[in-house]
């Protein structure tokens, strides 16, 4: 999927992925790919800057941990992030409903 198509939705996708628990960056990328049936194959150059932005906004927090013998930064959702994700889900439902109304108008 083209990265342009994700513009404006990446933060919600990352927050939703972290809703399941603490993950390191590559595990987030793998989870996005798995949950999307392979459609979302995002480069690290897209994901890591977004995670840093979400951390600065207080939506996620990170810490260093050892995973499989390697030091990795792991991320988890904060209370602020949970509230932002809930708002993003409402906005997504409103957006998709509006688009469906245009693409598939009901027969009159």
The CATH number that applies at residue 91 is 1.10.10.10
Q: Is there a domain that residue 108 lies in? A: no
Band the pLDDT of 3: cuts 50, 70, 90. low
Q: Is there a domain that residue 55 lies in? A: yes
Higher pLDDT, 31 or 4: 31
CB of 13 closer than 8 Å to CB of 88: no
Q: Give the mean pLDDT of the chain.
A: 91
- Angle (nearest 5°) at CA 47 between 83 and 58: 30
Q: Is there a domain that residue 106 lies in? A: no
Q: Is there a domain that residue 75 lies in? A: yes
Total tally of structural domains belonging to the chain? 1
Q: Is there a domain that residue 14 lies in? A: yes
Q: Is there a domain that residue 13 lies in? A: yes
Q: Please indicate, yes or no, whether the overall pTM of this predicted structure exceeds 0.85.
A: yes
Both tokens of 51, joined, read: 């995670």
Q: Is there a domain that residue 102 lies in? A: no
At 106 the pLDDT is 81
Q: Is there a domain that residue 101 lies in? A: no
| Residue environment code for 46-76, b if the CB has 16+ CB neighbours within 10 A, otherwise e | ebeebbeebbeeebbebeeeeeeeeebebbe
Domain that holds residue 14: 3-96
Band the pLDDT of 108: cuts 50, 70, 90. very low
């Amino acid at each position: 999927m083209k990265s342009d198509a994700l513009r404006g939705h990446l933060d919600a996708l990352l927050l939703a992925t972290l809703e399941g628990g603490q993950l390191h960056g590559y595990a987030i990328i793998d989870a996005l790919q798995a949950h999307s049936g392979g459609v979302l194959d995002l480069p690290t150059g897209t994901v890591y800057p977004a995670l840093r932005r979400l951390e600065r906004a207080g939506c996620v927090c990170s810490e260093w941990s050892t995973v499989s013998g390697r030091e990795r930064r792991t991320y988890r959702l904060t209370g602020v992030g949970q509230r932002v994700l809930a708002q993003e889900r409402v906005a997504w439902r409103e957006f998709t409903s509006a688009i469906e109304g245009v693409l598939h108008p009901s027969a009159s």
